[in-house]
Amino acid sequence: MVLIEAWFMDDSDTDQRMPHKRNPNEPVSLEELKKLGVFHWKLDADIYEADPALEKIRKDRGYAYSDIITIHKDKLPNYEDKLKMFFEEHLHLDDEIRYILDGSAYFDVRDSEDRWIRISMAKGDMITLPAGIYHRFTLTETNYTKAMRLFVGEPVWKAYNRPADEFEIRKRYLKSLPVTGGIE
């Protein structure tokens, strides 16, 4: 079973919902993602309301708050504007935790050399992006996902578009990277 699929993105500016794999494809391993502070779990989304594995993760990591968002043109007010906002490169002062309950989506993150890595998310995938990492989100060609958003404490929705290097959390994130001479 493949836990997660990730790859370095091509430089094409075609539809953001396309896979954007390089030719030949340059996969990124789960180990490489972990070095960036990105963590992944594969869970059973069909039992999310009573899943002991999800409860253990929530307890161990302090994910006290959650809600569910459906991203589809018929379900999300201001759908087009929201998609544009989600795809704008940004960071958060807190971790971003998402659990895909249905559908599919992509998270794009920057590596230590400022290259985009695309992470394919499908039903049952849960991901944590560390505070301070530049990232963005988009749907796949299916144009639909249903996701649980989790937070440590009260939800914080504020995104800081790039450049946001002045934040202490960004500086701490860069120092945490194993590659010397990270992004300045």
Residue 11: Cβ within 10 Å count: 7
Q: Is 184 annotated as a binding residue?
A: no
Contact by Cβ (8 Å): 121, 40? no
| CA–CA gap between residue 165 and residue 184 (Å, rounded) | 8
**Joined tokens for residue 30:** 């789960």
Q: Is 135 annotated as a binding residue?
A: yes
| CA–CA gap between residue 16 and residue 24 (Å, rounded) | 19
Q: Is 90 annotated as a binding residue?
A: yes
Q: What angle do CA 89, 26, 164 make, to 5 degrees?
A: 20
Q: Is 92 annotated as a binding residue?
A: yes
At 15, the amino acid letter reads: D
Backbone φ and ψ of 183, nearest 5°: -65, 135
At 165, the amino acid letter reads: D
Which residues does the annotation place in the binding site for Ni(2+)? 90, 92, 96, 135
Q: Give the residue ranges of the annotated binding site for Fe(2+).
A: 90, 92, 96, 135
Binding-site residue set:
90, 92, 96, 135
